[in-house]
Amino acid sequence: MTGSLKSVWWLVARGAAAVVFGALTLVWPQLTALALAWAFGAYALVDGLVLTGSAWRHRHEHRPALACAGAGALGVVAGVVTALWPGLTALALVVMAGVWAMVTGCLELWVAMRMRHELAHAWFWRASAVVSVGAGVLLWLRPDAGAVAIAFVLGVYALIAGGLWLAAAWREYRAHSERDSRSWPRSASGARVAH
């Protein structure tokens, strides 16, 4: 599998995880704090693993890769914490989710600005980062909000971010397909000349 198609699958995995999490929290807004913590933890873990994989793919860009790896590590830590302490109070969940969203968003924004020429979908990174920071700020503005309000903010954020990542995947897939279709006639004519 080429690097471009691998990138598409990373984007699809990240977008799908976000959309599933967002849909769950919005379809069942009466989730208990325990269920919400489990759902958030699973999402943060998947998102963190995908970001860590992306950091590995771009490891030649040292500082952006470190920032991406930092955001990924934060997601993994958030996922592990909710798995180890699923009985988090709503306040503890808001604090953790708010920190995760804001720090991840800031790191992604920095990566997108630093690698704007290398990333084919840098503006998707920027848009997702802004949405992430916005969700974190909303959570921190009302740390006393109940589980329903937390679920709504996280759900809307996840659906928007997931939609952006899936759109980025589709755009990159189309660009890859167009490159293949343009290169095919040249390779075919080359084969005819060789014979």
Structural domain contains residue 192: no
pLDDT at 188 over 70: no
Structural domain contains residue 111: yes
Structural domain contains residue 54: yes
Structural domain contains residue 194: no
Structural domain contains residue 92: yes
Structural domain contains residue 86: yes
pLDDT, tens digit, 9 for 90 and up, residues 55-93: 887 677 767 778 888 888 999 998 888 878 866 667 777
Structural domain contains residue 189: no
64-99 burial, b at 16+ Cβ within 10 Å, e below that, comes to bbebbbbbbebbbebbebbeeeeebebebbbebbbe
Please state the pTM of the whole predicted model.
0.76
CA torsion sign for 85, 11, 18, 51 is positive
Highest mean pLDDT: which range of 29-33, 36-40, 46-50, 51-55: 46-50
pLDDT at 193 over 50: no
| Count of the separate structural domains present in the chain | 1
Structural domain contains residue 18: yes
Structural domain for 15, as ranges = 3-183
pLDDT, tens digit, 9 for 90 and up, residues 129-184: 899 999 999 888 877 766 677 888 889 999 999 998 898 888 878 877 777 676 65
